[in-house]
Structure 1
């Protein structure tokens, strides 16, 4: 699907076993955007040969080539969990805000003279890929994290209507001219 300033994006499917009433995965299997963090390793004078086989190279907005570097599993987990928690709290605060607005409008004698926009935060979740179980000792098993992904709902403009991005990663200030 592409890459952004610090995440690669791939198409995927989320299949949950068990019942989920709402949120990401309630329409299982659900098409999702699978995002994984990366950091840029600029290709310098040494060229691509020092990166070894299998290295992935991309071009940034300044047409400079870079290799995709991955974080350690622990660092990746911490960063993805932080983003997922921020999305969770943002959704919660937005729901409380709209509940207050709706309550105030219900008790008001007249409607406002302006349109109140209804914006949404993307539904998201964390997926953790583990290596296989390794036995150590008689009754011990251990697993290790191989990769961590942020799963986001895939927005279908044909079904859901036009998508307008009001806030983006480069600047947290709302793009009010689009409201």
Structure 2
């Protein structure tokens, strides 16, 4: 899919045996964005392409869990915020004089690829090979999606002349 500030994104499929009532996906074979952290990106001397240097597996695992934890907390805080707003709207006879935007965090999860280590034909441990942050796949051509804030720092991704720019600025401020 592409290379971002600190993650690469690839198309993937999430195959679930036990379906969950909510969360990342509810169907047995879902298209997802499989993302991997990287340490740095360097430009190849002989072309315009870039090469990414990956973290060692243990560091990639820790970084991915930290990113997933941030998404979890952000999603939870947003859920609490909307619950609070809707609770107070339900208590009043009048609707607010402004539209309340319908924002959402992308549902995500972590997938770990590992290899079992056996001694004397007995599995004694496993080695982490790769760690992926799995996110719901958003088809930018068919879905109405706006990414307001840059991942690497809290600045708007929208241009100042965009109609939603002031909203993006307010999200960065809060």
| TM bucket normalised to smaller | 0.7 to 0.9
- Taking the aligned partners of 1:81 and 1:43, their CA distance within structure 2 comes to 28
Check the 8 A contact 2:37/2:60 in 1, yes or no.
Answer: yes
Residue from 147, 158, 163 that aligns with 2:145: 163
Bigger Rg, structure 1 or 2: 1
Number of residue equivalences: 161
Aligned to 1:87: 71
Q: Would the aligned equivalents of 1:122 and 1:153 in 2 still touch at CA under 8 Å?
A: yes
Does structure 2 conserve the Cα–Cα contact (< 8 Å) formed by 1:43 and 1:67?
yes
Give the TM-score normalised by structure 2: 0.81
Runs of 4+ displaced beyond 3 Å: 41-44, 137-140, 156-159, 173-176
Q: CA deviation at 1:139?
A: 4.3
State how 1:18-167 maps to structure 2 within 5 Å: 18-40=18-40, 42=42, 59=49, 66-131=50-115, 133-137=116-120, 139-156=122-139, 161-167=143-149
Output the aligned Cα RMSD: 2.4
Q: Distance in 1 between matches of 2:73 and 2:131?
A: 20
Q: Report the Cα offset of residue 156 of structure 1.
A: 3.3
The DSSP-based 3-state class of the residue aligned with 1:116 is coil
Contiguous gaps of at least 5 residues in structure 1: 49-56, 60-65
Once residues 9 and 157 of structure 1 are traced to their aligned partners in structure 2, the CA distance between those partners, rounded to angstroms, is 14
| Rounded Cα–Cα distance in structure 1 between residues aligned with 2:80 and 2:124 | 44
Tell me how far apart the structure 2 counterparts of residues 32 and 140 of structure 1 sit (CA, whole Å).
Answer: 31
TM-score, normalized by length of structure 1? 0.79
For residues 5-49 of structure 1, give each alpha carbon's deviation from its aligned partner in whole angstroms, at most 9, with x where no partner exists: 1111111110111121111131221100111111225469xx57x
Given that 2:114 and 2:129 are in contact with CA atoms closer than 8 Å, whether structure 1 keeps it comes out as yes
User: Helix, strand or coil: the match of 1:144?
Assistant: strand
Structure 2 runs not aligned, ≥5 long: 159-163, 168-174
